[in-house]
Homo-oligomer: A and B are copies of this chain.
Amino acid sequence: MQKRIKLDVGRYMAGLSVDNVIFGFHDNQLKVLLLECLNLRDWMLPGGFIQKDESLDEAASSVLLNRTGLKNVYLQQFHSFGDPGRSGEAATKGFMKSMHLNIEENKWFMHRFITIGYYALVEFEKVVPVPDQMSASCAWHDIDDLPPLIFDHRDIILNALTSMRHHLNYQPIGYNLLPKEFTMKNLQSVYETILNRKLDRSNFNRKMLASGILDKKEKLFTGGAHKAPYLYSFNKKNYFRVLKDGFNNEF
């Protein structure tokens, strides 16, 4: 029997959606969480519509919560996508057909949509992927090996990746991605994975320590463990200050 899709479109703002590019970090690889479209070979970004009384941030947070079970994680608006042909009539009709939605009865979906793009960085292990009513499954994909994607969703993912790399120049990253305590090498590895290149270890250490976002943990005396690396945790207060004000830039 067909899954029956019901959506009370009157609750939502016409022609507007949010799409979340949810990044996770696993086995030193950057992953993105995608939904498998019902009855199509295409995948899509987790997204949703905007209720008439909610903010853009609230709409994006609720998509994140519903697909991952996570809240209070780093979620950043990065760009709005609104080219008139971005979804396309043929692709939209195909998408609706795959969900057994009658086009005449559901003209709301044929509207030109502008989507507000958000990206999130989440702790991979904490995510329980949950498909929505328009999808058959929800799964992580390697950023370097994306499946076919619907509409302009591939461009949205690549734009999110570029934005995140740019943001790394003035915003700290790692909170919600790393466990409570980690080594400097763990943190550098997050940066290297996102930037997709090797970084100079001493420059990296210097910049991170100078920023004040890290607290160094006391080493416990454990006999032969003198060579064990220091553990760090984020200094939450400084981290969120730097997140807001930016690292001192290099000029």
Interface of A with B (CB < 8 Å)? Answer: 13-16, 50, 52-56, 77, 79-80, 82-84, 112, 114, 116, 165-170, 191, 195, 199-200, 203-204, 207, 246, 249-251
* Cβ contacts A to B, 17 pairs, < 8 Å: A13-B112, A13-B114, A14-B15, A16-B16, A55-B83, A56-B80, A77-B79, A80-B116, A168-B249, A169-B249, A169-B250, A195-B251, A200-B251, A203-B250, A204-B251, A207-B250, A250-B250
Since A56-B83, A169-B170 are in contact, a sample of 15 more A-B pairs with Cβ atoms closer than 8 Å, ordered by chain A residue number, is: A13-B15, A13-B112, A13-B114, A14-B15, A15-B16, A50-B82, A52-B84, A53-B84, A166-B167, A166-B246, A169-B250, A199-B251, A200-B251, A203-B250, A250-B250
A84, B51: Cα distance in complex, Å: 10
- Residues of B contacting A167 with CB < 8 Å? 166
A187, B157: Cα distance in complex, Å: 35
**A245 CB to nearest B CB, Å:** 9
